[in-house]
């Protein structure tokens, strides 16, 4: 069974988003060992670069500790269909990776160092989503990818 870490900057404050995340966390337990790693958001509006640097240090330290295949959610990243991404996850695990780290940066984005430290930069859309909502979307998609691999009826 593959380990999945959701590494994210900041906390989810909206109750309805947490309810959705909780639901997909329960569903994912049939497929994977899931861990949510919430990093401290700096949120310094006066110095965004400094905020990104602090958050980058935390992200890089976390993915270094949780060795595995790291995928950054990045608007400039590669786009996949759900089927393509499920095959990518299968390929990652077949190649010997027992841990996959999905990373959602802070509200100001991530540094070049973070982009260089990951194995894959992935985009869900050219649209911009609130970070809390993006976390729920990621949980749903991770569940979808594993349900495709498990031949579940969830993905139609």
Q: Enumerate the known binding-site residues for S-adenosyl-L-methionine.
A: 105, 124-129
d(CA 60, CA 37): 13
Ramachandran angles phi, psi of 116, nearest 5°: -75, -25
User: Which two structure tokens, joined as six digits, stand for 127?
Assistant: 């649209």
Ramachandran angles phi, psi of 101, nearest 5°: -105, 120
d(CA 99, CA 110): 22
Q: Beta strand pairing status for 69-79 and 120-123?
A: parallel
Closest listed residue to residue 106, CA positions, set 61, 73, 68: 73
């Amino acid at each position: 069974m593959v380990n999945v870490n959701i590494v994210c900057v900041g906390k989810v404050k909206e109750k309805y988003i947490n309810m959705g995340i909780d639901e997909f966390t329960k569903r994912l337990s049939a497929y994977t060992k899931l861990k949510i790693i919430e990093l401290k958001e700096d949120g310094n509006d006066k110095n965004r670069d400094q905020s990104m640097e602090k958050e980058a240090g935390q992200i890089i330290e976390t993915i270094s500790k949780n060795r595995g295949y790291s995928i950054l959610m990045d608007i400039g990243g590669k786009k996949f269909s759900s089927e393509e991404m499920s095959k990518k996850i299968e390929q990652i695990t077949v190649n010997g990776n027992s841990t996959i780290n999905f990373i959602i940066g802070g509200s100001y984005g991530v540094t070049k160092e973070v982009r260089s430290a990951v194995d894959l930069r992935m985009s869900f859309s050219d649209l911009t989503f609130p970070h809390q909502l993006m976390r729920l979307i990621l949980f749903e998609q991770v569940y979808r990818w594993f349900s495709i691999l498990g031949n579940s009826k969830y993905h139609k």
